[in-house]
């Protein structure tokens, strides 16, 4: 029997997705992927470019349609083709924060407009109430009220990502999918955003799906880790298990290649792992 502490917020069953790239050419982005994310937890999906992790994220939020398999969020099925009412309901369940915060900001308008648009769509607040809520959300993500009327060009990369997080929170979602959301930031800002995300997960009772290629950030935020390669899950476990005792050669290779304090290229071992993976 599933206890309340281990209730899945995201469930993915036997997901497959193939992209057709030309005449009789295709790429299998996902191959029978099954996973779940417990309510209030953070699952990191790790893999190199082309491993299928972003395709998985896009299917979970409904931006892509799978060839087969099922996805549910907060107990409700996710379909790529949905009417306006379904899309609005889904946005209250799940939001996405992308690598480039600029994609959700209009360079000609104050950044508060991005948050205000979400409040308009998902609440019945008056204009004054929406502005007050914008101030609350900006404060929640560590931005002062004076930033409400700033243009995107007046903000740093970290500040723009904080606005993108505030925009996601404006819909009061249960789940946030973070797709390489700290990859474009420098190391110190990465740490600040990861700390913010960890605090928000606790205070807002959020569930995270954290997509990344960088194993160095995983231990700072994730409870569980899934490692993907060529559209398949090759390893899964708790963060401590996967990072300290990886079982699959591909995971071992990712860890061997990850820079860290005192790290030196282990060319012999890296070559051996590559040969083992290829065999």
Task: Locate all alpha helices (DSSP H) within the chain, ordered by sequence.
Answer: 53-60, 84-93, 112-122, 127-140, 157-169, 187-203, 215-218, 239-244, 249-257, 267-278
Whether residues 189 and 146 fall in one domain = yes
Percentage of the chain exceeding pLDDT 70: 87
Residue 132 domain-assigned? yes
Whether residues 138 and 199 fall in one domain = yes
Whether residues 30 and 151 fall in one domain = yes
Q: Could you tell me the CATH number of the domain that includes residue 82?
A: 3.40.50.300
pLDDT at 275: 63
Whether residues 206 and 278 fall in one domain = no
Task: Please name which of 229, 238, 265, 263 lies closest in space to residue 42, comparing C-alpha atoms.
Answer: 238
Residues 6+ apart with CB under 8 A from 76: 89, 90, 93
Whether residues 142 and 176 fall in one domain = yes
Domain that holds residue 273: 246-279
Whether residues 97 and 174 fall in one domain = yes
Number of domains in the chain: 2
**Helix (H) / strand (E) containing 67:** none
pLDDT at 3: 41
Residue 23 domain-assigned? yes
Question: How far from 41 is each of 6, 53, 93, 189, CA to CA, in Å?
Answer: 9, 18, 15, 23
Residue 1 domain-assigned? no
Q: Compute the distance between CA of residue 163 and CA of residue 3 in angstroms, rounded to an integer.
A: 35
Q: What is the pTM of this model?
A: 0.88
CA 155 to chain centre: 22
What is the DSSP-derived secondary structure letter of residue 157? H
Whether residues 185 and 69 fall in one domain = yes
How many CA within 13 A on the CB side of residue 43? 24
Whether residues 160 and 272 fall in one domain = no
Whether residues 240 and 261 fall in one domain = no
Task: Please name which of 129, 66, 69, 57 lies closest in space to residue 94, comparing C-alpha atoms.
Answer: 57
Q: Is the pLDDT of residue 265 over 70?
A: no
Residue 39 domain-assigned? yes
Residue 107 domain-assigned? yes
Give the model confidence (pLDDT) of 33-57 as tens digits.
999 999 999 999 999 888 999 999 9
Place of tokens 């930033």: 147
Average pLDDT over residues 198-226: 93
Q: Compute the distance between CA of residue 43 and CA of residue 218 in angstroms, rounded to an integer.
A: 9
Residue 189 domain-assigned? yes
Q: Compute the distance between CA of residue 154 and CA of residue 109 in angstroms, rounded to an integer.
A: 11
Q: Compute the distance between CA of residue 13 and CA of residue 70 in angstroms, rounded to an integer.
A: 5
pLDDT at 209: 97
Give the model confidence (pLDDT) of 111-151 as tens digits.
999 999 999 988 899 999 999 999 999 999 999 999 999 99
Number of H helices, E strands in the chain: 10, 10
Whether residues 52 and 82 fall in one domain = yes
Whether residues 211 and 254 fall in one domain = no
Residues 6+ apart with CB under 8 A from 111: 105, 147, 148, 150, 151, 152, 155, 160, 163
Residue pair 30/56 in contact (Cβ under 8 Å)? The answer is yes
Average pLDDT over residues 17-32: 86
pLDDT at 135: 97
Whether residues 139 and 184 fall in one domain = yes
Place of tokens 């959301």: 181
């Amino acid at each position: 029997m599933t206890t309340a502490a281990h209730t899945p917020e995201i469930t993915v069953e036997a997901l497959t997705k193939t992209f057709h790239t030309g005449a009789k050419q295709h790429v299998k982005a996902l191959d029978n992927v099954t996973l779940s994310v417990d309510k209030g937890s953070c699952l990191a999906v790790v893999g190199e470019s082309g491993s299928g992790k972003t395709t998985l994220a896009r299917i979970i939020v409904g931006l892509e349609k799978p060839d087969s398999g099922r996805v549910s969020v907060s107990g409700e099925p996710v379909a790529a083709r949905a009417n306006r009412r379904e899309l609005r309901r889904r946005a209250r369940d799940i939001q996405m924060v992308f690598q480039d915060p600029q994609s959700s900001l209009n360079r000609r308008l104050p950044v508060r407009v991005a948050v205000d648009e979400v409040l308009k769509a998902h609440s019945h607040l008056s204009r004054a109430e929406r502005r007050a809520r914008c101030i609350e959300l900006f404060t929640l993500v560590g931005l002062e009220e004076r930033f409400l009327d700033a243009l995107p060009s007046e903000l740093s990369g970290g500040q723009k990502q904080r606005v993108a997080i505030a925009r996601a929170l404006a819909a009061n979602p249960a789940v946030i999918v973070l797709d390489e959301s700290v990859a474009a930031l420098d190391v110190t800002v990465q740490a600040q955003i990861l700390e913010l995300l960890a605090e928000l997960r606790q205070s807002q009772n959020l569930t995270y799906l954290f997509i990344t290629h960088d194993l160095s950030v995983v231990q700072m935020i994730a409870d569980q880790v899934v490692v993907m390669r060529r559209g398949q899950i090759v390893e899964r476990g708790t963060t401590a298990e996967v990072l300290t005792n990886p079982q699959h050669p591909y995971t071992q290779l990712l860890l061997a290649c990850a820079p860290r304090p005192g790290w030196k290229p282990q060319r012999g071992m890296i070559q051996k792992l590559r040969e083992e993976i290829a065999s």
